Structure 1
Amino acid sequence: MGNTDSKVDFRAAIAQLAARSQQIESNDESFWDQFWSDKISNVQDIFALVPAAEIRSLRDESPSSLAILCNKLVDRLQQAAEHSCQTERDQIAAINCVRLLTRLLPYIFEESEWRGFFWSDIPNGQQQTTTSNGDYLSKPPLAQRLLQTLADLLFCPDFTVSSKKKKGPDNPEDIHTIDSCEYIWEAGVGCAHSPVHSPSNDRHRTEILKLLLACFSETIYMKPSIELQSYPNKWLNYFTSSDNRQTLPLFTSLINIVFSYDPVGYLPYNYLLFTDTREPLVEAAAQLLCVTLDNSSSSINEHISSSSSSTSKMSIGDEGSNLFINYLSRIHRDDL
């Protein structure tokens, strides 16, 4: 009964957001917190409670509310990543933000006037953010913040990868200081030993990869003759460039997960006995590999400048090039 009431509350929040008669203030945190709270336990709930017609109505009739919601979702994702998703509350919030963005993005892309929203300049008064040291940093476009946060979350200890340290509040692992190459998902290229397998990590990875696929899907909503030539896929260009500090561990993780997967395993018809969390992950990883490797660097018309002054020590190749293709060309065996 309680779970049903929670879903009703979530549905009411969606309806309230879409109502033209009532504008929700951006600082009404108690209202916005409803969208990533523990009321929602799976992605099926998101798709059932947020129908397509209502998203289109929100986009067309209350565009400012949709814009605020997207900003709030990305901000909450960043907040969870900044704390390395060390608490259950942050983990639930992060995965629910991922689910809701996965639901919203296709309906944003299908409207041409909205496609530049995630890459638009930050409104006046919001261009800067304050660090813990009191320094001011310029905020990059929403899309860059989202892509880098998702890439970082794919190597977040005890959320998408197994921790290498003892658990506990005195031994937290900082997502921003760890060497992500030590957390490659599976043995193979760049990793000699298979890490501990965790079904929850697989599920979280799968949902994040599906959101990345949704981000990269902007191209399919464009007219092939005109729009595709005028507007390169900035999402893919940024994600596969040296601006993304996780390109190398992510590429090797995707490659290793796909090519190490045994769909049969040691027990035939094992899917009848237990849920295989690895198969959906492999499917999403294979799709993401196809998309990123198909994004040829020769089609990039402009380089998306990095939001940070330094690039990862793992990054190689010229700025603006597709590092996924670069890394693929360098795979070799030392014993040959």
Structure 2
Amino acid sequence: MGNSDTKLNFRKAVIQLTTKTQPVEAQDEAFWDQFWTDSVTSVQDVFALVPAAEIRALREESPSNLATLCYKAVEKLVMAAESSCATAKEQQTVLNCVRLLTRILPYIFEDADWRGFFWSTLPGQAGENDSLNDEDGGSMPLAQSLLNALSDLLFCPDFTVAPNKKAGPETHEDLQSIDSCEYIWESGVGFAHSPAQYPHHDQNRSEILKLLLTCFSETMYQPPGDPLPNQWLTYFASSENRHALPLFTSLLNIVCAYDPIGYGMPYNHLLFSDYREPTVEVALQLLIVVLDHDNGQSAISVDGTTTGTAMDQGAEITREVLAPQEGSQGEPQNLFVNYLSRIHREEDFHFILKGITNLLNNPLIQTYLPNSCKKINFHQEILVLFWKLCEFNKKFLFYVLKSSDVLDVIAPILYHLNDSRQDQSRVGLMHIGVFILLLLSGERNFGVRLNKPYTVRVPMDIPVFTGTHADFLIIVFHKIITTGHQRLQPLFDCLLTIIVNVSPYLKSLSMVASTKLLHLLEAFSTPWFLFSNPSNHHLVFFLLEVFNNIIQYQFDGNANLVYTIIRKRNVFHQLANLPTDRASIEKAVSRKRKGSEASQRSVPNSPTVADPPSMEGSFPAKEAQPGTLKATLAEMPGKGWWWELS
């Protein structure tokens, strides 16, 4: 009953605010306290009780009231951070303010006239509250006050972290004086101590991180090509944020240390609530958003060649080595990228790589009991983080390549590529997966590792084979090229380039993989396909280079490929005798197009040869969901035409 009364009171306060025609004074504390003093149970309640239409109406009809509401909410957060958020009432006020701002901010960003609101001083508010002023006595923009307060609250003892001292009103630690490096959320990179974990701390962290992610989403509401930088991210990742280092290590460690399986008890995720997973997911999203932010600097060292200890265990993280460097133009640097590029201890690399591989392989776990293991759904974010690690820290890339664990990254990437090939809404996942494989394939160790036998039997709709990881890679790439949607055609060059890069090191291809390679050559070398696009011949060049490399460097162990080449020698004969006169070319292209249009109307994108049986328990790739974007690239010959070979 009390909960219903609380929601009713909150709803009444929202109605009063949206229906008032006159501005409400900021000093009217009794009115404004209605929005955060009552205990609204969850962020879902706030979203339900504050409709989008009413927020837009408030923005258009009573802008001063909306501005005052945001100002008062930020003021409450700043005051809570200054008082160390010691009481339960203050903590509930903080949560309500965070939820309210999370709801309101997107509607401020969507209006171009309001985007600069948080980076300006409200008329009549300057100087009224010392907590919102900077050290020089000037008025600090609301955005800076908000980011400073949220960063402080993420390391608030008894609220988001466990206290290091005995709890109590007299011993409560001051947020302004504590060393937040002693309160890193999880052991791992730069921190050896394992802090106590409490579910309510994870829930509070998650709420604050979601508000930060909402603040950083301002770029989504700007028109394409807008050169304006994201000031939220620039300030958050700069040296102005005194918590940048502990925030970076906390976000990275909590992601890499997360184990969704736990002790392995079947169906444990149905019996017990996992409060850590939502926090890990939003922490991962926030981390990759900050790492992706470009301040415009060009002098950040990302080669991982710095000397000295990058991160020591415990709270003694060496700020001298990790201190920000001045950019060539004096612009603020992204400290998160700076810190990431300076990790170089092997034990840190092992911790990061193990955490990433555990999470990537989670969807591939097979058990006798159906659905007995918890499955995560943020594998795409994990791949983006792995890409950023390889991009900004070359020492980590070399560590991955020399480690046998690199195959634990390859298998889930190929699994997700195969599973997403027909879903246009997951084209971004396809791109990031292919780019990671392209980056790794440039190193010799990657090609050598692919010779390890493939023993993981994950149900996939690919032909059954017995071979190596190289066979697995080639078979999946063939499936993507022959049965993927048209928006993947720009990736064909990348897919074949990966095979070219690793081909000199492939000791023994299976008959299935050899047949797939010759099948691609047979399809790409037809006259009508070669002449239908000026760049199509590149695909044939790549395949010929693959055959040349394998025959030159690994002839002895590749009898299957040599036999398949001999059996399909007519393909090479036809390629050597391509017509070169204009009339023959136009005749071949027009005849094939007319025949293909008729066949596509009956059975689109279907090869004339039957595919081998797929793995037991596999499911077809998911097709695009209704409402996904259609291909906007220039049309190429339909894939169904490639199988009608003359």
Taking structure 2 as the reference length, the TM-score comes to 0.48
**Equivalence map 1:60-75=2 (5 Å):** 60-75=60-75
In the other structure, the counterpart of 2:340 is: 328
**Equivalence map 1:121-140=2 (5 Å):** 121-124=121-124, 126-127=126-127, 129-130=129-130, 137-140=137-140
Over 3 Å counting, the alpha-carbon distance change for 1:233 and 1:136 in structure 2 is closer
Superimposed CA distance per residue, residues 4-39 of structure 1 (whole angstroms, 9 cap, x where no aligned partner): 122111111111111143432211101111111133
In the other structure, the counterpart of 2:214 is: 214
1:238 aligns with 2:238: no
Superimposed CA distance per residue, residues 231-272 of structure 1 (whole angstroms, 9 cap, x where no aligned partner): 110000000010111000000000000011011111333221
Measure how far apart 1:315 and its partner are: 4.7
- Please tell me whether the aligned partners of residues 99 and 207 of structure 2 are also in contact (alpha carbons under 8 angstroms): yes
The one-letter amino acid of 2:325's match is G
Taking the aligned partners of 1:23 and 1:5, their CA distance within structure 2 comes to 27
Taking the aligned partners of 1:127 and 1:170, their CA distance within structure 2 comes to 31
Over 3 Å counting, the alpha-carbon distance change for 1:214 and 1:83 in structure 2 is same
1:269 aligns with 2:272: no
Over 3 Å counting, the alpha-carbon distance change for 1:63 and 1:149 in structure 2 is same
Q: Which has the higher contact order (CA 8 A, sep 6+)?
A: 1
Over 3 Å counting, the alpha-carbon distance change for 1:136 and 1:218 in structure 2 is closer
In the other structure, the counterpart of 2:589 is: none
Measure how far apart 1:172 and its partner are: 1.1
The one-letter amino acid of 2:254's match is I
Taking the aligned partners of 1:189 and 1:142, their CA distance within structure 2 comes to 33
The one-letter amino acid of 2:294's match is S
**Equivalence map 1:85-164=2 (5 Å):** 85-124=85-124, 126-127=126-127, 129-130=129-130, 137-164=137-164
Superimposed CA distance per residue, residues 146-197 of structure 1 (whole angstroms, 9 cap, x where no aligned partner): 0111011100001000000001122111111111001000000111021000
Taking the aligned partners of 1:125 and 1:255, their CA distance within structure 2 comes to 38
Superimposed CA distance per residue, residues 35-56 of structure 1 (whole angstroms, 9 cap, x where no aligned partner): 1113312111101100111111
In the other structure, the counterpart of 2:408 is: none
In the other structure, the counterpart of 1:78 is: 78
Count of paired positions: 319
Taking the aligned partners of 1:122 and 1:11, their CA distance within structure 2 comes to 26
- Please tell me whether the aligned partners of residues 122 and 139 of structure 1 are also in contact (alpha carbons under 8 angstroms): no
- Please tell me whether the aligned partners of residues 129 and 138 of structure 1 are also in contact (alpha carbons under 8 angstroms): no
The alignment partner of 2:260 has SS state of coil
Q: Which moved more, 1:135-144 or 1:166-175?
A: 135-144
Q: Which moved more, 1:282-291 or 1:313-322?
A: 313-322
Over 3 Å counting, the alpha-carbon distance change for 1:63 and 1:23 in structure 2 is same
The one-letter amino acid of 1:281's match is T
1:35 aligns with 2:35: yes
Measure how far apart 1:299 and its partner are: 6.4
Percentage identity across aligned positions? 59
In the other structure, the counterpart of 1:297 is: 295
In the other structure, the counterpart of 2:397 is: none
- Please tell me whether the aligned partners of residues 82 and 175 of structure 1 are also in contact (alpha carbons under 8 angstroms): yes
Over 3 Å counting, the alpha-carbon distance change for 1:161 and 1:46 in structure 2 is same
- Please tell me whether the aligned partners of residues 73 and 97 of structure 1 are also in contact (alpha carbons under 8 angstroms): yes
Taking the aligned partners of 2:342 and 2:295, their CA distance within structure 1 comes to 16
The alignment partner of 1:46 has SS state of helix
Taking the aligned partners of 2:15 and 2:297, their CA distance within structure 1 comes to 42
The alignment partner of 1:97 has SS state of helix
Q: CA RMSD in A?
A: 2.0
Larger Rg: 2
Measure how far apart 1:317 and its partner are: 2.5
Over 3 Å counting, the alpha-carbon distance change for 1:21 and 1:172 in structure 2 is same
Measure how far apart 1:224 and its partner are: 1.0
Taking the aligned partners of 2:130 and 2:250, their CA distance within structure 1 comes to 33
Structure 1: which 5+ residue stretches go unaligned?
301-311
Superimposed CA distance per residue, residues 278-309 of structure 1 (whole angstroms, 9 cap, x where no aligned partner): 00000000000110000023269xxxxxxxxx
Taking the aligned partners of 2:125 and 2:178, their CA distance within structure 1 comes to 33
The one-letter amino acid of 2:17's match is L
Taking the aligned partners of 1:111 and 1:50, their CA distance within structure 2 comes to 18
- Please tell me whether the aligned partners of residues 247 and 315 of structure 1 are also in contact (alpha carbons under 8 angstroms): no
Taking the aligned partners of 1:125 and 1:316, their CA distance within structure 2 comes to 34
- Please tell me whether the aligned partners of residues 98 and 211 of structure 2 are also in contact (alpha carbons under 8 angstroms): yes
The one-letter amino acid of 1:270's match is N
- Please tell me whether the aligned partners of residues 39 and 92 of structure 2 are also in contact (alpha carbons under 8 angstroms): no
The alignment partner of 1:138 has SS state of coil
Measure how far apart 1:137 and its partner are: 2.5
Taking the aligned partners of 2:337 and 2:69, their CA distance within structure 1 comes to 35
- Please tell me whether the aligned partners of residues 10 and 38 of structure 2 are also in contact (alpha carbons under 8 angstroms): no
Taking the aligned partners of 2:229 and 2:136, their CA distance within structure 1 comes to 31
The one-letter amino acid of 2:340's match is L
The alignment partner of 1:219 has SS state of helix
In the other structure, the counterpart of 2:284 is: 286
- Please tell me whether the aligned partners of residues 99 and 211 of structure 2 are also in contact (alpha carbons under 8 angstroms): yes
- Please tell me whether the aligned partners of residues 101 and 211 of structure 1 are also in contact (alpha carbons under 8 angstroms): yes
The one-letter amino acid of 1:48's match is A
The alignment partner of 2:73 has SS state of helix
The one-letter amino acid of 1:194's match is S
In the other structure, the counterpart of 1:247 is: 244
Taking the aligned partners of 1:274 and 1:73, their CA distance within structure 2 comes to 35
Structure 2: which 5+ residue stretches go unaligned?
299-318, 350-646
- Any runs of at least 4 consecutive aligned residues in structure 1 with deviations exceeding 6 A, and if so which? none
Q: Which moved more, 1:2-11 or 1:53-62?
A: 2-11
Taking the aligned partners of 1:172 and 1:53, their CA distance within structure 2 comes to 42
Q: Which moved more, 1:78-87 or 1:37-46?
A: 37-46
The alignment partner of 2:137 has SS state of strand
The alignment partner of 1:25 has SS state of coil
The alignment partner of 1:224 has SS state of coil
Over 3 Å counting, the alpha-carbon distance change for 1:249 and 1:68 in structure 2 is same
Taking the aligned partners of 1:298 and 1:21, their CA distance within structure 2 comes to 44
The one-letter amino acid of 1:317's match is Q
Measure how far apart 1:124 and its partner are: 4.6
The one-letter amino acid of 1:202's match is D
